[in-house]
Amino acid sequence: MKEKIKVAPSILSADFANLKDEVIKVEKSLSDAIHLDIMDGHFVPNLTMGPKVVAAINRTTDMFLDVHLMIYNPFDYIEKFVEAGADLITFHFEATEDVEDTINYIKKCGVKAGLAFNPETAFSMATKYLEKCDLVLFMSVHPGFGGKKFIPSVLEKIKLAKNLKEDMSLKYDIQVDGGINLETGSRCKKMGANFLVAGTYLFGEKDMKKAVLDLKNC
Ligand code: DX5
Ligand code: ZN
């Protein structure tokens, strides 16, 4: 059976002066989630938003909030983002030495847990955590900014994650984030990704609903 593909527009590419309208636009696009990039200026060389903005978005929509933490010490911020309305909290494997505790605590707080990997990080290092993950996220650009070029070496990692998922009879989503459009999205799907995040592509199209559907069908 063909796997259902999920799509999440990244709010990083939205017009922040009209955030409410942009969130409503995402809701109307029939996307599966809204992807919220949280950056601390240390783990990545950029700053974005904190729990207060996430809470404001949560008041605007009933959509599934996919919170992507690009911050050091993610453990310390879990409660704040759960209170703000996160449905999924993904943190970076490279950002903490307490990967297991962080996953456990996210789940204890009643939301889904995702583990993210930078382009140069080997996925095989994380096999022991996979049973606990609801999602693995492969960065297909160096994190920090939207609009960057897709790094094709991610494709092999997606394939490995897909094979491991099958071999271990696990259920985690395989999400890809960075430089996703119809061409790169299709390549990721062929390798086994079932969850695509896109900022520049989806916000750059006049008809976001059509663009989301195109991404699901590419
Ligand atoms: C990058 C972010 C991405 C970004 C994707 O660090 O994690 O979510 O917004 O944007 P595009 O699709 O423009 O690469
Ligand atoms: Zn992201």
CA distances from 189 to 60, 74, 167 (A): 31, 29, 19
**pLDDT for the residue numbered 1:** 58
Does the Cβ of 37 fall within 6 Å of ligand 1?
A: yes
The conformational region for residue 178 under phi > 0 = left, psi -120 to 50 = alpha, else beta, is left
Output the residue whose Cα is nearest ligand 1's atom 9. Answer: 146
- Has 207 been annotated as catalytic? no
Residue 12 banded pLDDT, cuts 50, 70, 90: very high
Average pLDDT of 190-199? 98
Q: Tell me 108's DSSP state.
A: H
Average pLDDT of 38-66? 98
CB atoms near residue 54 (< 10 Å): 20
Residues above pLDDT 90, as percent of the chain: 98
Average pLDDT of 175-200? 98
Kindly list the strands in the beta sheet with 34-39, ordered across the sheet, starting from the edge strand earlier in the chain: 6-9, 195-198, 173-177, 135-139, 112-117, 88-92, 65-70, 34-39
- Note the helical H segments in the chain: 19-28, 51-60, 78-84, 99-108, 154-167, 182-191, 200-204, 208-217
Say if residue 60's pLDDT is above 70. yes
Determine the Cα–Cα distance for residues 214 and 102; give it in Å rounded to an integer. Answer: 35
**pLDDT for the residue numbered 34:** 98
Determine the Cα–Cα distance for residues 92 and 77; give it in Å rounded to an integer. Answer: 13
CA angle (217 as vertex; 69, 20 as ends), nearest 5 = 45
Instruction: Give yes or no for a contact between 202 and 13, defined as CB atoms under 8 angstroms apart.
Output: yes
CA dihedral 103, 104, 108, 110 (to 10 degrees): 30
* Average pLDDT of the chain, as a whole number: 97
**pLDDT for the residue numbered 178:** 98
* 130-173 residue pLDDT tens: 999 999 999 999 999 999 999 999 999 999 999 999 999 999 99
Say if residue 2's pLDDT is above 90. no
Looking at all shown ligands, the one closest to residue 145's CA atom is 1
Does the Cβ of 146 fall within 6 Å of ligand 1?
A: yes
- Has 134 been annotated as catalytic? no
CA angle (188 as vertex; 204, 137 as ends), nearest 5 = 85
Would you give the end-to-end CA distance of the chain in angstroms?
A: 17
Residues above pLDDT 70, as percent of the chain: 99
What predicted TM-score, i.e. pTM, was given to this entire model?
Answer: 0.98
Which residues, at least 6 apart from 45, have a Cβ–Cβ distance to it below 8 Å?
144
Does the Cβ of 185 fall within 6 Å of ligand 1?
A: no
